[in-house]
Amino acid sequence: MSAAPERVRHWVYLQRMMGAVQSPDGSVHGAGLFWVPLPASGQGTMTAVRWEGQRQTRSGPDGMTVHRIRLGLRVAKAQVNVELVCARPSLSVRVRAPERMRPALEAAAEPLAAALAATGWRLDSWRVLDLEEERDGEKASGGASV
C-alpha cells in the first residue's frame, strides 16, 4: 500500500475524532456544494450551488446553546448572504441578496415558518435586505418579518 492512501485514512480518522470531541462552544468553518432544481425548467434539471459558511456557537443563559451561522451562496449568478441565529426552538434569519431576488425571498417567509413549525422550530424573524446595504442602515430598509 502506498503512503498516500494511508495518509488519507489518518486524516479521515483525525477528522472523525475531532468532530466527536469538539467543544460546543467555538467556531467551525466549512464549504461545499449542493444541488437544487431549476425553478423554470420543470424537467428535473439541477444546478449546483456553492456555499461557504461559518458557525459560531456559545452557551447562553441556563445552558442554552446559541448558534450563529453565516452562509455565503452563489445563486443564479449572484452572491446571497444568509445569517441565522438559533437557540432551539427559536430561529431568526437575515438574507442579503440583490434587489431582483427580494420579492421571492420576502414571499418565502410564511411557507418557511409553516415548514419549521411542523418540525418544532419557530421563525421569530425573517428579514430580506439589499446585498449592498451597510449593516448600520438595516432599520431603514424594512424587510419581511414573521
Residue spans per domain, the chain: 24-141
Query: Could you check whether the bond before residue 89 is cis, i.e. omega within 30 degrees of 0?
Result: yes
pLDDT at 65: 87
HSE of 125 in the Cβ direction (CA atoms, 13 Å)? 15
DSSP E strand stretches across 8-135: 26-37, 46-59, 65-75, 78-87, 90-97, 122-130
| pTM for the model | 0.69
Is CATH 1.10.730 correct for 24-141?
A: no
Phi, psi of 23 (to 5 degrees): -65, 145
Q: In whole angstroms, what is the distance from residue 10 CA to residue 32 CA?
A: 22
pLDDT tens digits, 94-117: 999 999 999 999 999 999 999 999
Q: In whole angstroms, what is the distance from residue 106 CA to residue 145 CA?
A: 8
Is residue 136 over pLDDT 50? no
Could you tell me the three cell numbers for 11? 486524516
pLDDT at 1: 46
Is residue 2 over pLDDT 70? no
Is residue 122 over pLDDT 70? yes
How are beta strands 122-130 and 90-97 bridged, if at all?
parallel
Higher pLDDT pick, 55 / 60:
55
What average pLDDT does this structure show over 50-71? 88
Which amino acid belongs to residue 36?
V
